[in-house]
Amino acid sequence: AAGVIQSPRHLIKEKRETATLKCYPIPRHDTVYWYQQGPGQDPQFLISFYEKMQSDKGSIPDRFSAQQFSDYHSELNMSSLELGDSALYFCASSLRPLGGGASNQPQHFGDGTRLSIL
């Protein structure tokens, strides 16, 4: 079965550079979540999209922005990168029932993008 695809798998950047992470959800999934996992930490929610509209926002820095496109893929744009942005970035997708009610579907995660800031 198709899974969540993230690219790139690894990314090395220098301070103050920009980065774009991409996420392709499982086909027919309408909701995308982004999480950041620092070294030795649990994943922290950044932002989510439902039907191409931002549905919730967590502890995402103003330097970061994201969007979901018409084909449901999502991109996380990161600017003015700092050393503290070094982390594993996960994208997850799920499908909500019609009406956007309670979802009985688990979030399926991509393999993550490991971002290293030098």
Partner 1 sequence: AQKVTQAQTEISVVEKEDVTLDCVYETRDTTYYLFWYKQPPSGELVFLIRRNSFDEQNEISGRYSWNFQKSTSSFNFTITASQVVDSAVYFCALSEGSNDYKLSFGAGTTVTVRA
Residues 16-35 that bind partner 1 (CB under 8 A): 31, 33, 35
Residues 48-107 that bind partner 1 (CB under 8 A): 48, 50, 55-56, 58, 88, 90, 92, 94, 96, 102-104, 106-107
In angstroms, the CA 115 to CA 110 distance is: 15
Q: Which is nearer to partner 1, 38 or 80 (CB)?
A: 38
Size of the site for partner 1 (CB under 8 A): 29
Question: Which residues, other chains included, contact 86 with Cβ-Cβ below 8 Å and sequence gap of 6+?
Answer: 38, 39, 115, 116, 117
Tokens of 38: 């620092």
Residue 52 C-beta: closest distance to partner 1, Å: 15
Question: Which residues, other chains included, contact 109 with Cβ-Cβ below 8 Å and sequence gap of 6+?
Answer: 4, 90, 91, 92
Which residue, among 43, 52, 50, 48, has the nearest Cα to 95 in the 3D structure? Answer: 50
In angstroms, the CA 14 to CA 80 distance is: 9
Contact pick of 42, 53, 62, 99 for partner 1 (by CB under 8 A): 42
Residue 16 C-beta: closest distance to partner 1, Å: 26
Interacting residue ranges for partner 1, rule: CB under 8 A: 31, 33, 35, 41-45, 48, 50, 55-56, 58, 88, 90, 92, 94, 96, 102-104, 106-112, 114
